[in-house]
């Protein structure tokens, strides 16, 4: 057998396989088996949900008065926990301009850091921003995640919001 560093390097694909050990549930013996990269990847994100929502230019311009629902209310005993939150301003003609902060909220609770208008407005080119999930907050049960605010005054394109989240259930926590 060759020394490991003598093997060529490659970029893995989802169908590629790795050798590993699996415990047989009946005999409790270790078996050497093959796993696909794709199966390992899906196992590492199990329980995470991800959604991309595109706000039209009309929704962007009305955002201050009309929040946009990003994730629907999950159910009576469930809460939405934000893991990652990003926005892509797809610039078209006029600057994305806003006069107030943009917030991700569940009910009236902010759940991600604020996109502060004073340091980011106007946006005059394609721009990706990330809002950090906030910790140490009480998550409301059975409430939708919405994008609020902005005091939007202009914007000549669309905005895409990508949110990765978990749904936490108090009955099977």
Question: DSSP of 44-70, one letter per residue?
Answer: HTTT-EEEEEEEPHHHHHTTTTS-EEE
H-helix or E-strand spanning residue 118 = helix 117-120
Enter the pTM of the model: 0.75
Q: What is the mean pLDDT of residues 2-17?
A: 85
In angstroms, rounded to a whole number, what is the distance separating the alpha carbons of residues 53 and 124? 21
Task: Give the gyration radius of the chain's Cα atoms.
Answer: 22
**What pLDDT does 70 receive?**
97
In angstroms, rounded to a whole number, what is the distance separating the alpha carbons of residues 128 and 68? 19
Q: Kindly tell me if the per-residue pLDDT of 50 is higher than 90.
A: yes
Give the architecture-level CATH label for domain 49-169.
Sandwich (2.60)
In angstroms, rounded to a whole number, what is the distance separating the alpha carbons of residues 110 and 148? 9
Share of the chain above pLDDT 90, in %: 42
**What pLDDT does 1 receive?**
64
Q: Which residue has the higher pLDDT, 146 or 3?
A: 146
Domain locations in the chain? 16-46, 49-169
| 119: nearest Cα among 147, 100, 92 | 100
Q: Which residues share a beta bridge with 51?
A: 163
Residue with tokens 């990706």, as numbered in its chain: 128
User: What is the CA angle 78-79-81, rounded to 5?
Assistant: 140
**What pLDDT does 78 receive?**
96
Q: What is the pLDDT of residues 97-143, one digit of tens each?
A: 888 888 999 999 999 988 888 778 788 889 999 999 998 899 999 99
Q: What is the pLDDT of residues 139-172, one digit of tens each?
A: 999 999 999 987 777 778 888 999 999 999 999 8
């Amino acid at each position: 057998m060759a020394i490991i560093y003598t093997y060529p390097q490659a970029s893995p694909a989802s169908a590629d396989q790795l050798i590993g050990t699996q415990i047989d549930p009946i005999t409790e013996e270790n078996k050497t088996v093959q796993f696909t990269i794709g199966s390992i990847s899906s196992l590492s994100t199990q329980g995470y949900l991800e959604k991309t929502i595109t706000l039209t230019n009309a929704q962007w311009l009305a955002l201050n008065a009309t929040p946009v629902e990003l994730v629907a209310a999950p159910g009576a005993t469930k809460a939405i926990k934000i893991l990652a939150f990003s926005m892509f301003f797809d610039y078209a003609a006029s600057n994305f301009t806003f006069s107030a902060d943009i917030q991700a909220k569940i009910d009236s609770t902010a759940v991600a850091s604020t996109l502060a208008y004073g340091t980011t407005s106007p946006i005059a080119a394609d721009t990706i921003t990330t809002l950090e999930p906030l910790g140490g907050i009480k998550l409301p049960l059975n409430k939708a995640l919405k994008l609020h605010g902005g005091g939007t005054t202009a914007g000549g394109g669309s905005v895409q919001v990508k949110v990765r989240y978990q749904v936490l259930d108090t009955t099977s926590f």
